[in-house]
Amino acid sequence: MRLAIPVALSIAVLAGAPAAADTASIGDIVVENAWARASSVNVGAAYATLRNLGRKPDRLVAAASPAAARVEIHTVVERDGMVGMERVDAVEIAPGKAAVLQPGGLHIMLMGLKRKLAPGDRIELTLTFGNAGRIAIRAPVARAGARKGPERTR
Ligand SMILES: [Cu+2]
């Protein structure tokens, strides 16, 4: 497994920092750099890199959070010159590859937030993968409009 070494190293580095729980793994799936964006309204978005270290494809099939009434997997689409969001059933992760959820593309949509997300907060997310199962992470909240997670904007 060619990818195993760099991923293991990056986990070790993150684990040394206090904000370590934005990276976690279950089965062949590693969830890295989970983060959410501060929001002054009751909807928000969260992002992460989903890495598949296995030999079989996997897929993110559901997301949930105690911080929001409803959570969906969305992508950003452009149609007739209009940019909007669309719900997707799953995010495919090919073996040895990563799916990147990031601003302007795939994201975890948090609807009916129980309180506004402020920079410095952390929100709990549960991600369910078709093969690997369910994993909980705590995503740090970056400022509104951030393009990257808080650890990486400094
Ligand atoms: Cu959305």
pLDDT mean values, one per 10 residues, the chain (154 residues): 45 42 89 94 96 98 97 95 95 98 97 94 96 95 89 50
Q: Residues whose CB is under 5 A from ligand 1 (ion)?
A: 74, 85, 109
**Strand duo 133-142 + 29-37: pairing:** parallel
Check residue 11 and give its pLDDT: 44
Q: From the options 3.40.50.920, 3.90.1150.10, 2.60.40.1890, 2.40.37.10, give the CATH code of 4-144.
A: 2.60.40.1890
Check residue 21 and give its pLDDT: 63
CB of 57 within 8 A of CB of 95? yes
Domain ranges of the chain: 4-144
Check residue 119 and give its pLDDT: 94
Give φ, ψ of 62 to 5 degrees. Answer: -160, 155
Check residue 23 and give its pLDDT: 86
Q: Tell me, in angstroms, the distance from the centre of ligand 1 to residue 107's CA.
A: 6
Check residue 152 and give its pLDDT: 52
Q: Tell me, in angstroms, the distance from the centre of ligand 1 to residue 122's CA.
A: 19
Q: Tell me, in angstroms, the distance from the centre of ligand 1 to residue 40's CA.
A: 15
* d(C-alpha 121, C-alpha 38), whole Å: 9
Q: Tell me, in angstroms, the distance from the centre of ligand 1 to residue 18's CA.
A: 29
